[in-house]
Amino acid sequence: MAVRRRDEQQEEPRKEKKKRPWLTMVLVFVVLLLGSGYGYLYFHGSSIKVPVPSQEKAARPAEVRKLTLEPFVVNLADPGLRRYLRVKITLEYLSPYLEEELNQKLHRIRDTIITVLRSKKTEDLAQEDALKRELLAKINAELDIGQVKALYFEEFIIQ
């Protein structure tokens, strides 16, 4: 009987050991499945884009329009020196109605720009931002319908 008790005691743990490998394999499979799903979402999930058309259209800025003026060549107001300035200017604006007004008043705008530039000395031109602000203010004073948003120097040569 003593022999049988040992056999019975040995058979019981064997049954438990058979249950544990299945449980361990299922847990390992679930962990691997979750890990691979997380890895896929981590590396490929950021490339998934959800379009939001209503917000994109609402946040879209108005179309920017531009008018590039022919180059200006003016003498500077330096006493005793013969220096001149060659500058090419582009005006930027938003309103489509302003294009027609700019074309109608182009002669007045060019005259305003020439008048401002001829009154400057060489040292006055070192501050481009101040010159841009002054030109914008004078050009916008000539306009009735809209305003020029920005002014850019495409060429700026002093000789």
* Region for residue 92 given its phi and psi (left: phi exceeds 0; alpha: psi -120 to 50; beta: otherwise): beta
All structural domains of the chain with their residue ranges: 2-58, 65-158
pLDDT score, position 69: 95
CA nearest to 114, candidates 158, 75, 67: 75
For domain 65-158, the CATH class is alpha beta
Q: How many C-alpha atoms does 33 have within 13 Å on its Cβ side?
A: 6
Query: Tell me, what's the pLDDT at 11?
Result: 56
Q: Is the pLDDT confidence value at 114 over 80?
A: yes
* Structure letter (DSSP) for residue 35: H
* Identity at 26, one-letter amino acid code: V
Q: Is the dihedral of CA 109, 113, 116, 119 positive or negative?
A: negative
> Which pLDDT belongs to residue 134?
96
What is residue 67's three-state secondary structure?
A: strand
152 three-state secondary structure:
strand
Give per-residue pLDDT as tens, 9-50: 555 555 555 556 778 888 888 888 888 888 877 777 655 565
Q: What is the pLDDT of residue 18?
A: 54
- Provide the CB-side half-sphere exposure for 104 (13 A, CA): 9
Q: What is the pTM of this model?
A: 0.61
Show the tokens assigned to 112. Answer: 């305003």
So what's the pLDDT on residue 61?
66
State mean pLDDT over 108-135.
94
pLDDT tens string 55-103: 555 555 678 999 999 999 999 998 888 999 999 999 999 988 899 999 9
